[in-house]
Structure 1
Amino acid sequence: MNSPVFTSLVPVVLFIAIGFLAARLEWIRAASVKDLSNLVFMVLAPALLFRTMSTVHIEALDFGPVGIYFAAAALVFAATLALQGFTTLAAARALAYIFGNSLMIGVPLIGLAFGEAGLVTLFTLISVHALVLLTGATVVFELAAARERANTPGQPKPHMLRTVLQAVKNGILHPVPLPIIVGLLFAQTGLVLPAVVDKPLQLLGQALGPLALLLVGVTLAFSKVGPNFRPALRVALVKTLGFPLVLGSLGMALGFGGPALAVLVVTASLPIGANVFLFAQRYDVAEAEVTASIAVSTVMALVTLPVVMFLATRWIA
């Protein structure tokens, strides 16, 4: 086994376990989770994302593997709809198959395993990840919901253009893509952040990884799997193993490889992101299944992530 893979994963497992234990011991209450999440997303994440991208020039970014990532995601999404039908339930499962926790778990994990270069690849993906996937998912959900309402009298017709435009706006004016875009624009000016600004951003960014992973453990402690374990297990298997397999196979078939593709394959194997639950909640479909899937995929990732990381660093990087 490649020892650096496990060395990189040990802090991730440890922080998640500490967060889980803290919640079980009631040191952190369920009512506080939202506040902790806001701190991570609204303060720490933008600081790290902006500072990292503020020194990166656009010509140094490689969008080729990122394009392969979205091609693989589209393939998995379309196959799910084809096999399970064009419904909101199928759309919820399809989104769960391809939308991972790339910020909370991906940033600290990729940073530990692949260093600064790996983070640049990951941030290149993150800068358009939510925008592309969530906007596309919104269109599919709206079309599927409209189809399901077609035979229900008295239901309002969806305003597709307004929904898509709102999704695009929300995808850009967001604490994840926005600091990446602003950081990239700043980098193109050739200016350097003054120390009085750079040092606080550095300290805030360093706090992101530990606190985000603690929050994953806390959230896991408050999640209930219950009778949805079997469907959740199927969804988690596709997300943590099936999607990275499709991505890696497609990338190598098209002649891509190297560390950038390895980073994206590992990213594809991350557990399901919380945004999937927001879609399930909004469209009132599979809420319990999606919640259970997030919990199961997070636990499963403790086993599957080392396997995917080992294979990716051995045969792709």
Structure 2
Amino acid sequence: MGSRKGVCAMAVMVSLVPVVVLIALGYLLGRLGWVKATSVRDLSNIVFLVLTPALLFRTMSQVRVQDLNLQTIAVYFTAAGLLFAATLLWQGFSTLGAARALAHCFSNNIMVGVPLVGVVFGQEGLVTLFTIISVHALILMTAATLVFELAVMRQQHAASGGPRSYRSMAVTVGRALKNGIIHPIPLPIICGLLFAQTGLQLPELIDKPLAMLAQALGPVALMLVGITLFYSAVGRYARQASRIAAIKLLVHPALLLAVGWLWGLRGMPLVVLATAAALPVGANVFLFTQRYEVGREEVTASIAVSTSFALVTIPLILLALAPMLKTG
């Protein structure tokens, strides 16, 4: 029992400390004045319009639909979808509600999940995690984009005070769908997925620059979170950030376990999915708040708070899940 606890604690430290360091480095860059407040928006555009599309296209260009494990995908995203929908019902259908909903179910699977699952569960666990990662952006980020666009349209329509006919609603939905597809998130996902089905390989002259841009996304996005922490009055949002962190770190994995159990998933796959759900809020949620200019301070604080809390919650969750490995 003691050795298992030591392995869990070490794995969590190995995966989470680099995230904390990069956020702290960004905070320091802001404090030293090396990155001005006026540059935050420009840095956000680089991350959202250049680095993120590069990662999404390159990741999806390697996904073969026929190789995906549909049961694990269905379990993971059913739980995420239920939590997202429940948050919208609770918070209201708005861009702020969408930002909170995304924060509740969007895990830091790359920077934290890959090293953590690799150390604790080995190659078998990584296979399950990579199945989720391969379609994580396709499902969550595309769906979130559509919800954000619909919320923007709804808020604009409410502000105009005009009558709501079925025709105007249809036009609003159609425009939101168009904006949701011709967008820096879904468009590279769709293009990459279509390219993957051709069976072709990206030429090295294209793939290598894309790989370099993709590798830069995680560190730059986390430093941007730290920079925003310095320039934002996030202390006022400690209560909201703690609430988001609690839902992300505790409610999300509990809901996933319930959904997985009902769907008949057992053993290693269920434990790995629950571990992924227990990860802190991913930095991509922050990019959405920057793009739509809503809930930036709150979500920025929630990323830092959930990452810090995860140092305690993840080892406890891993220990609680350990007996389930024997039931697979």
Give the TM-score, by structure 2 length.
0.74
1:223–1:292: 8 Å Cα contact kept in structure 2?
A: yes
Q: What is aligned with 1:297? A: 302
2:15–2:111: 8 Å Cα contact kept in structure 1?
A: no
1:46–1:179: 8 Å Cα contact kept in structure 2?
A: yes
Query: Which residue type is aligned with residue 11 of structure 1?
Result: P
CA deviation string 1:268-304 (max 9, x = no partner): 64327236747986xxxxx6xx444313312222233
Match of 1:124 among 128, 135, 160: 135
Deviation, 1:139, is 5.5
The answer for unaligned runs of 5 or more in structure 1 is 282-286
- Report the secondary structure of 2:79's partner residue: helix
Q: CA distance change for structure 1 residues 231 and 11 in 2, over 3 Å: closer, same or farther?
A: closer
Distance 2:206 2:148 in 1: 38
2:225–2:300: 8 Å Cα contact kept in structure 1?
A: no
CA deviation string 1:6-28 (max 9, x = no partner): 21222111111101111122111
Distance 1:294 1:247 in 2: 22
Q: CA distance change for structure 1 residues 183 and 252 in 2, over 3 Å: closer, same or farther?
A: same
Q: What is aligned with 1:109? A: 112
Q: What is aligned with 1:43? A: 50
Distance 1:22 1:278 in 2: 19
2:40–2:228: 8 Å Cα contact kept in structure 1?
A: yes
2:55 is the alignment partner of 1:17: no
Deviation, 1:237, is 2.0
2:203 is the alignment partner of 1:203: no
Distance 1:264 1:180 in 2: 25
Q: What is aligned with 1:96? A: 100
- Report the secondary structure of 1:189's partner residue: coil
Q: What is aligned with 1:174? A: 183
Q: What is aligned with 2:121? A: none
Aligned pairs for 1:169-248 within 5 A: 169-248=178-257
Q: What is aligned with 2:280? A: 270
Distance 2:212 2:53 in 1: 12
Deviation, 1:35, is 1.4
Q: What is aligned with 1:61? A: 68
Distance 1:268 1:312 in 2: 9
Deviation, 1:307, is 4.7
Q: What is aligned with 1:52? A: 59
CA deviation string 1:226-263 (max 9, x = no partner): 54433443343223322232123322332235458735
Q: CA distance change for structure 1 residues 220 and 252 in 2, over 3 Å: closer, same or farther?
A: farther
CA deviation string 1:127-170 (max 9, x = no partner): 12133244356657877998xx6xx9x82135322232233223
2:152 is the alignment partner of 1:160: no
- Report the secondary structure of 1:274's partner residue: helix
Query: Which residue type is aligned with residue 264 of structure 2?
Result: G
- Report the secondary structure of 2:14's partner residue: helix
Query: Which residue type is aligned with residue 139 of structure 2?
Result: V
Question: Does 300-309 or 21-30 show the bigger shift?
Answer: 300-309
2:44–2:290: 8 Å Cα contact kept in structure 1?
A: no
Distance 2:48 2:35 in 1: 18
